[in-house]
Structure 1
Amino acid sequence: MNTNSYTGYMQRNSQLVLTKIMEEYWELVAASENNKIYECSDLFVHILIYLNSIGLSLEDISNELNKRRWTLKTLIQYVLMLITKSYLLDYM
């Protein structure tokens, strides 16, 4: 990784990444429907950068979620429920 890059800089400054995560969270909250995917992507990227900066991997997260019984099947069912709920609320 290029240590002079934005990602390299952020990974060396975990507190800065947390600040950026909060900024991206609020941008997601305020985003229009057309910009939700853009803001979710930004938030996701900064969470990944933070995890790497503190020595955690997606495998670590997956293992923790499995301990909590959040299997891939459970996560997919949850996402589908949220999508369905959102869809129904749009038409009420």
Structure 2
Amino acid sequence: MNIDKIIEEIKFDDRGLVPAIVQDVNTKKVLMLAYMNKESIRKTLEEKQVCYYSRSRKELWIKGATSGNTQKLQGFYYDCDKDSILLVVEQTGAACHTGEISCFFNEVIPAENEETDVLKELYSLLRERKRNPKEGSYTNYLFDKGLDKILKKVGEETSEVIIGAKNKNKEELVYEISDLVYHLLVLMVNENISIKDIKDELSQRRK
């Protein structure tokens, strides 16, 4: 990758800036809009941790340097006019300074056919709970108790799934499977296993 050539291709405005749209690699949600200059683009491409240019402070800032809500670069694109950038990132924690996952939470006209990947969103929420505990959260109770407690719950929910299946009750079975999936995701977060890790393993088996 020739970083100098990439930077030469991009058209910056009269302030030396270019807008960057940020998308979550897992949920596909648009997270935020920020600005980059040549130096921040170079730093981002070299270090794979997203760096922006603050127009108010007039300095570079690495996303999450103080909050811990970092963005690991997964993809970098620029548009047909070469005057805007799309960053695809692995988001840790909330992207917005308000604590919301995305800065675009002010809903005016909801997209009727908008589909969200609830498993990926739940996984992201569980990771956020582990990093930033919330008082009274059942998820944090599990993390605090540790691996043995999480495994005990996975075992219990597995038994409930078996009972639900034997009862031939679809509604009960769906409920119990949902409980099991939740606890499995908690286990995955606790053991630093991503949804991509599981998908990669299943893809290998399919081959």
Global fold match (TM > 0.5):
yes
CA deviations on 1:27-73 (whole Å, 9 max, x unpaired) are: 11112313000000000000000000000111111111111117xxx
**Of the two structures, which has the highest relative contact order with CA contacts closer than 8 Å and spacing of 6 or more?**
1
CA RMSD of aligned residues (A): 1.6
Task: Give matches, 1:8-87, under 5 Å.
Answer: 8-12=140-144, 13-31=146-164, 32=167, 33=169, 34-69=171-206
| Greater Cα radius of gyration, structure 1 or 2 | 2
Unaligned ranges ≥5, structure 2: 1-128
Instruction: Name the CA distance, whole Å, in 1 between partners of 2:185 and 2:142.
Output: 11
Higher percent of residues as strand:
2
Q: Kindly provide the amino acid, as one letter, of the partner of residue 142 in structure 2.
A: M
Instruction: Name the CA distance, whole Å, in 2 between partners of 1:16 and 1:65.
Output: 27
Identity over the aligned pairs, expressed in percent?
A: 34
The 3-state SS of whatever aligns with 1:56 is coil
Higher percent of residues as helix:
1
The 3-state SS of whatever aligns with 2:206 is coil
